[in-house]
């Protein structure tokens, strides 16, 4: 049964395969400012090394702390991976607070599911499990954003009670209560 866990080296092989799936989809190019895009550019050729991967997982765990090693402009964020044994399916990141940039793009919570694991309810499970964690972090209403044409994400967010905020443009902005 899949579960959300802190980043762990136990899913090394599956994680590397998942990142290749994202790369094949076109992720990781210079214009991809998503978490996966940035990490593919930085670690893509180095994740194969088990020591580099273990260090990467440890870095993600440390970034949940206020005094953690955060890139410029980043806020503490809790990253959790959806895994089943040694199989990696996806990730969800809970940003502990919003910056002006996160209010426009990204919001409090972002998630990705690898292509070979989509359409199985994994993103729905991740978001439902993450909302009480966000609440425990002091986030009463979580902002989630998605592209207007991302029907799957829209349905997932709405299923969890997301209320659409009217704004012009191709991005959608939803506010989700974190307390069920």
Q: What is the pLDDT of residues 6-65, one digit of tens each?
A: 999 999 999 999 999 999 999 999 999 888 999 999 998 899 999 999 999 999 999 999
Instruction: Give the pLDDT score at 45.
Output: 87
Q: What is the pLDDT of residues 91-137, one digit of tens each?
A: 999 999 999 999 998 999 999 999 999 999 999 999 999 999 999 99
What is the CATH number assigned to the segment(s) 3-139?
3.40.630.30
Tell me if 40 sits within 8 A of 28, measured CB to CB.
yes
Nearest CA-CA partner of 170 in 143, 145, 142: 145
Whole-angstrom distance, CA of residue 38 vs CA of residue 77: 15
Instruction: Give the pLDDT score at 159.
Output: 97
Instruction: Give the pLDDT score at 25.
Output: 95
Instruction: Give the pLDDT score at 167.
Output: 83
Whole-angstrom distance, CA of residue 131 vs CA of residue 150: 21
146 phi and psi angles, rounded to 5 deg: -155, 160
Write down the domain spans for the chain: 3-139
Instruction: Give the pLDDT score at 89.
Output: 98
39 phi and psi angles, rounded to 5 deg: -70, -35
Cβ-based neighbours of 85, under 8 Å, separated by 6 or more: none
Instruction: Give the pLDDT score at 169.
Output: 83
Instruction: Give the pLDDT score at 33.
Output: 86
Q: What is the pLDDT of residues 144-173, one digit of tens each?
A: 999 999 999 999 999 999 999 988 888 999
């Amino acid at each position: 049964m899949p579960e959300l866990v802190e980043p762990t080296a136990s899913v090394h092989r599956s994680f590397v395969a998942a990142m290749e799936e994202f790369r094949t989809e076109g992720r990781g190019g210079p214009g991809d400012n998503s978490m996966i895009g940035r990490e593919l550019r930085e670690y893509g050729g180095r994740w194969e090394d088990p020591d580099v991967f273990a260090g990467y997982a440890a870095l993600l765990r440390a970034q949940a702390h206020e005094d953690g090693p955060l890139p410029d402009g980043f806020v503490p964020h809790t990253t959790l991976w959806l895994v089943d044994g040694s199989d990696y399916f996806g990730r969800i990141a809970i940003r502990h607070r919003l910056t002006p940039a996160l209010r426009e793009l990204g919001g409090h919570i972002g998630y990705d599911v690898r292509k070979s694991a989509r359409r199985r309810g994994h993103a729905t499970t991740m978001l439902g499990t993450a909302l009480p964690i966000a609440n425990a972090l002091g986030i009463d209403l979580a902002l989630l954003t998605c592209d207007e044409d991302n029907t799957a994400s829209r349905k997932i967010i709405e299923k969890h009670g997301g209320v659409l905020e009217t704004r012009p443009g191709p991005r959608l902005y939803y506010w989700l209560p974190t307390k069920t």
